[in-house]
Amino acid sequence: MASEGSTFLQFYVPQAICSASRAALLSGSYPHRTNVFGAHGPNGRGPPTEFATIAEPLKKSGYNTVHFGKWHCGDTNATRPLARGFDEHAGLMYSNDMWHLHPMQPKHWGKFPLRFWNNGEIEIEDIQPKDQKNLTKWATEKSVDFIKRNKDQPFFLYTTHSMPHVPLYVSKEFEGISGQGLYGDVLAELDWSVGQINQALKDNGIEDKTMIIFSSDNGPWAGYGDHAGKPPYREAKATSFDGGTRSPLIVKYPKMIPPNSASKKVFCSIDLMPTILDLAGGPHPDNKIDGKNVLDLMTDKKGAKNPHHYYYFSTGRHLEAIMSANGRWKLHLPHSYRHVQVAGADGFDAKYSRPQQPLALYDMKNDPMESKNIISNYPELADELKQAAQAYIKKPQSKQK
């Protein structure tokens, strides 16, 4: 897919945790606007209905909309996929480790079933390991079937795999295939899945007019050691350093995106919703959103500039960092963060510490590892970013609790 599209090397999510990141993608809004933070478990509320998901305006524009895989944006009647603009859905409402399969949360064992839903009905009351092995395959097969059934009409297919979130499982066909352990096998099956979906578009003659986006909700959960990826930047998931918030992104759209290319253009997951809606020619939601159309950046249009001034990063409810929209300057506000002291192994989490991060300014062009605090060299720039962060904190938020 990368050889047929463009790889974006500075794509960000505003919060590097499951539900908050997914809600930002679907709503085009920061966590502090929707009041969705962290990871929501069973019966979790998800984004309030006053904030439309991307599927709702697309559906009004005549698109068939479908979600397969891990939802993790609400487990109530008002917030499950069929109530949020999707015509079809099959998958889990929350993470595959919630909770009886989570090795680090024995207090929750036996309290909540991990249900597999299919179009509003519970198909499997309590997912077991034998079922988890098939999650990637099921979502892939359903995606391919949906493409075949909808090749003659516009559609929005949102496939979000549970893997490679722990606990890791892989179908029988991919056991041992990578030679790199279970995590490698999981990635091999995900690679197969992406290939199957791309091939379905080709086989049905709609590849050239379909935009395909591949991404993740956050950086690696490095604490799980050999059951997780290794972040190429500082720290990892659940922090506001680039190891958590800088996420992979590949976009393939033969009509507009140059193939086999790489871009350092900076934008954020909140920008995908308005970009897609404008491209589809549909209306924007009635509610305010934070994202902006970045199609000119995606297509590498000459002279294109980021329509934002800043991007904001948080963990939970705490705003922790702000970055100039060109990706050059990043200011960390004082906060504590989760740091891996000793990585886990074989599906068990790490031992963590909570260091204190001081007020710090980083030059992300020359110091992408966020290692050299240069705030004393640029006090006026730091003050400008700090004031912008304070203004952001004062913005109105959702009344949802």
Please write the tens of the pLDDT for every residue from 296-354: 999 999 999 999 999 999 999 999 999 999 999 999 999 999 999 999 999 888 999 99
Q: Tens digit of pLDDT for each residue in 86-140? A: 999 999 999 999 987 776 777 777 788 999 999 999 999 999 999 999 999 999 9
**What pLDDT band is residue 400 in, cutting at 50, 70 and 90?**
low
Left if phi > 0, otherwise alpha if psi is -120 to 50, otherwise beta: which for 56? Answer: alpha
Q: Tens digit of pLDDT for each residue in 1-60? A: 999 999 999 999 999 999 999 999 999 999 999 999 999 999 999 999 999 999 999 999
Q: With beta carbons less than 8 A apart as the criterion, state whether 59 and 255 touch.
A: no
| Boundaries of every domain in the chain | 2-303, 312-393
Burial readout 130-155 (b: 16 or more C-beta within 10 A, e: otherwise): eebbbbbbbbbebbbebbeebeeebb
Averaged pLDDT, 355-368: 99
| Pairing status of strand 360-363 against strand 329-332 | antiparallel
Averaged pLDDT, 163-169: 96
Residue 157 sits at φ, ψ, to 5 deg, of -105, 120
> Could you tell me the two tokens for 299?
């297509």
The answer for residues whose C-beta is within 8 angstroms of residue 10's C-beta and 6 or more apart is 246, 264, 265, 266, 327
Q: What's 2-303's CATH class?
A: alpha beta
Q: How far apart are CA 15 and CA 33, in angstroms?
A: 13
Task: Please give the C-alpha separations between residue 374 and each of 58, 72, 234, 235, 377, in angstroms, as whole numbers.
Answer: 45, 38, 17, 19, 5
Q: Report the pLDDT value the prediction gives residue 46, as an integer from 0 to 100.
A: 93
Q: With beta carbons less than 8 A apart as the criterion, state whether 253 and 20 touch.
A: no
Averaged pLDDT, 380-398: 90
Q: Report the pLDDT value the prediction gives residue 396, as an integer from 0 to 100.
A: 63
Averaged pLDDT, 187-200: 99
Left if phi > 0, otherwise alpha if psi is -120 to 50, otherwise beta: which for 118? Answer: beta
CATH fold group of domain 312-393? Arylsulfatase, C-terminal domain (3.30.1120)
Q: Tens digit of pLDDT for each residue in 231-284? A: 999 999 999 999 999 999 999 999 999 999 999 999 999 999 999 999 999 899
Q: What is the DSSP string of 54-118?
A: THHHHHHTT-EEEEEEE--S--STTTSGGGTT-SEEEEESS-TTSSTT-TT-GGGTTTS---EEE
Q: Report the pLDDT value the prediction gives residue 388, as an integer from 0 to 100.
A: 98
Q: How far apart are CA 127 and CA 97, in angstroms?
A: 10
